[in-house]
Amino acid sequence: MKKIIISLTLFSAVIITGFSCNVIADEINLKMVFVPASEKGDDQDYISLIRIIEKLTGYKIEPIKVTDYNAAVEAMRAGRAMIAWYGGKTYIVAAEIADAEAFAAGVRKGDTNANYFTYFVVPKDSKLNNLSEAKGKILALNNIGSTSGDLIPQVELLKFNLSTKKDFKNVFYAGSHDACLLSVINKHADVCGMSSRNFDARLADG
């Protein structure tokens, strides 16, 4: 795989708490909602995060996994989750409708900050060298609501006068960052927009 480096956008992952859930001081069990970013590697990341929160707060954290970003926001809005792991776009929605408030940013081991990027990825043998050449091609994105796999790719494409509604042969949501990458590997898409963290992790896997 190769990346089109021309369009990388900075964003931070955040942990959110919803104060509308009426958490009381002596409550022991708190439910935390996660949106899986990939099919591999997330479980251990979440387990480590949960252990850190439990150690710092003294509360027992019960994880809740959902398959899309809207469900993660709804879990907090409906009071089924009191803490959440959101990306930037999802947090904005949750702050508006679920009274969510950011209190921490996730920094992975070995990193110095919480920043990550959107990568546009194409096959190694692709003739695409920049986004202006992507018109009329097949584009894969992560999931509606994803920051690095939906919002930012669309924003960056507009800088090249490319709209996902009319300038591509086909645009589809693969369902996750890993599935987005696989769609390019398997030649189901000419280019995909995905999280740099997931790309780097899969690259490390070989």
pLDDT digit string (tens) for 69-123?
889 899 999 999 988 888 888 888 889 999 888 877 777 777 777 778 899 999 9
Local confidence band at 5 (pLDDT 50, 70, 90 cut-offs): very low
Tell me what percent of the residues of the chain surpass a pLDDT of 90. 35
71: Cα separation from own chain's centroid: 14
What is the reported pLDDT for 26?
Answer: 54
Identify the domain containing residue 79 by its residue range.
Answer: 12-105
CA gap 86, 124 in Å, rounded: 31
Give the mean pLDDT of 7-30. 48
**Count of domains forming the chain:** 2
What's phi and psi for 193, nearest 5 deg? -110, 125
Residue 63 included in any domain: yes
Amino acid at 36: P
| Torsion on CA atoms 186, 139, 92, 175, rounded to nearest 10 | -30
Same structural domain, 81 and 159: no
Same structural domain, 101 and 122: no
Q: Which of 105, 129, 148 is the last residue of a domain?
A: 105
CA 10 to each of CA 22, 44, 86, 114: distance values in angstroms, whole numbers, following the listed order? 33, 24, 15, 10
Q: Which residue has the tokens 């645009």?
A: 171
Domain containing 168 — which CATH number?
Answer: 3.40.190.10
Q: Is the pLDDT of residue 124 over 70?
A: yes
CA gap 24, 35 in Å, rounded: 25
Q: Is the pLDDT of residue 51 over 50?
A: yes
Residue 110 included in any domain: no
Residue 140 included in any domain: yes
User: DSSP class of residue 27?
Assistant: -
User: DSSP class of residue 21?
Assistant: G
Same structural domain, 71 and 149: no
